[in-house]
Amino acid sequence: MDALVLLGSFMVLILIGMPVAYSLGLAALIGAVWIELPLDAVMIQIASGVNKFSLLAIPFFVLAGAIMAEGGMSRRLVAFASVLVGFVRGGLSLVNILASTFFGAISGSSVADTASIGSVMIPEMVKKGYPRDFSTALTVSGSIQATLIPPSHNAVIYSMAAGGSISVAALFMAGVLPGLLLGLTLAIYCLYIARKRNFPKGHAIPLAQALRICADALWGLMTMVIILGGILSGVFTATESASIAVLWAFFVTMFIYRDYKWNDLPKLLHRTVKTVSIVMILIGFAAAFGYIMTLMQIPLKVTALLTSMTDNRYLILLAINFMLLVLGTLMDMAALILILTPILLPVVMAVGVDPVHFGMIMIVNLGIGLITPPVGTVLFVGSAVGKLPIEKVVRALMPFFALLVVVLGIVTYVPALSLWLPRLVGV
């Protein structure tokens, strides 16, 4: 009955149109009243939920990504990717994917990736003869790499939702190979489609021009080196690397590229603060919600229920994947990570799944949800940037959905893909 009151009130609030963050907070209050818990305890949990040093990484990474996104980095990354792969048949589609890989390693945001790369690549692909719906679907699908490749905001949120027991650095490194696998899968499909539909072949860029393009992009690409190199070398933590990334992004944008106006900075900071405020409210209320769930022993009951049905880890992971794919179409990624991690993590650990590996499973699952209707945030952004109705983008996305599910299956059932790199570097 406890679970019905807590989860039922949350679902009712969602169904009547209340934002997820406030639904979590009110459901936590309702649950506290039901179990006769003093409301002061709920307030304390909300405050302590956001009073964590590691959470400072989120606003810093968001700000660094925003500065680079609006400071001309996306255009330079597209040009750099063109040097590397733009000369083959269907090369612009490969440029799109590779640019998303590079930009995802700077911004950590699929929404920023789609908006920035899409605004450059979709018009260019259409101009060169690529179908608009294909170009938009490819941009949207490629942006999921940003949820996996460090610095992923969602990896930080997952670490926090797991009680801070999982290293952010380990999660960052665990996301590298799955993210690259996703990009490689899309690239192979694009090469096949390019031959089948006879997409145009690009031209090799002259050496002198290519060197200038590479040198220009190198300043922005150094952001990746600063973030990962600093963490792996032990010079600074993930949170400290985020603050250094902001300083570097500011320096490169304002003093090297100089494409951004000083009087536009207050607007950028305002948008960043607004975005981060929403995330922090969600984290605080989710902490209280998770605390009530723990008092009601909901995670233990779910673990007992699933393990009583089967102790086969593959079947349990299959059931969890199906559930996450469905829920990912209905709710935002960050909210689901915060809600479901305390419930599902004990289940998978009970059958021997590494928590770092499970983090990658969850992020890939919910990343697919970002491009799936009816609540696909990245899908809506891609539709707006590509200037296409949602239904046309969804139809074009169908083969990409199939590819992403294949990647999900590989990530789920080949744990070494996620765990090899963290173990190799010792994080």
Q: What pLDDT sits at residue 185?
A: 95
Whether the predicted pLDDT of 61 surpasses 90: no
Cα angle for residues 276, 279, 281 (degrees, 5° grid): 110
Task: Band the pLDDT of 39: cuts 50, 70, 90.
Answer: confident
pTM, two decimals, is 0.86
Candidate from 73-82, 339-348, 364-373, 396-405 with smallest mean pLDDT: 73-82
Distance in angstroms (rounded) separating the CA atoms of residues 205 and 199: 19
Mean pLDDT of 122-149: 89
Mean pLDDT of 228-245: 79
Q: Where is pLDDT greater, at 415 or 206? A: 415
Give per-residue pLDDT as tens, 68-104: 777 777 778 888 888 888 788 878 888 889 888 888 8
Q: How many residues in total does the chain contain?
A: 427
**Largest alpha-carbon pair distance within the chain?**
73
Give per-residue pLDDT as tens, 253-271: 888 888 778 888 888 888 8
Give per-residue pLDDT as tens, 168-223: 889 999 999 999 999 999 999 998 998 888 887 777 788 888 888 888 888 878 88
Task: Band the pLDDT of 38: cuts 50, 70, 90.
Answer: confident
DSSP secondary structure letters along 233-277: HTSS-HHHHHHHHHHHHHHIIIIII--S-GGGHHHHHHHHHHHHH
Q: What pLDDT sits at residue 187?
A: 92
Q: What pLDDT sits at residue 69?
A: 73
Whether the predicted pLDDT of 124 surpasses 90: no
Whether the predicted pLDDT of 54 surpasses 80: no
* Residue 163 zone, left/alpha/beta (φ > 0; ψ -120 to 50; rest): left
Mean pLDDT of 141-148: 90
Candidate from 66-75, 116-125, 387-396 with smallest mean pLDDT: 66-75
Give the other-Cβ count within 10 Å of 393's Cβ.
23
Yes or no: say if 73 and 183 are a contact pair by the CB < 8 Å rule. no
Sorted by sequence, the CB contacts under 8 Å of residue 397 that are 6+ apart come out as 137, 140, 141, 371, 379
Encoded tokens for 111: 């929404």
Whether the predicted pLDDT of 303 surpasses 80: no
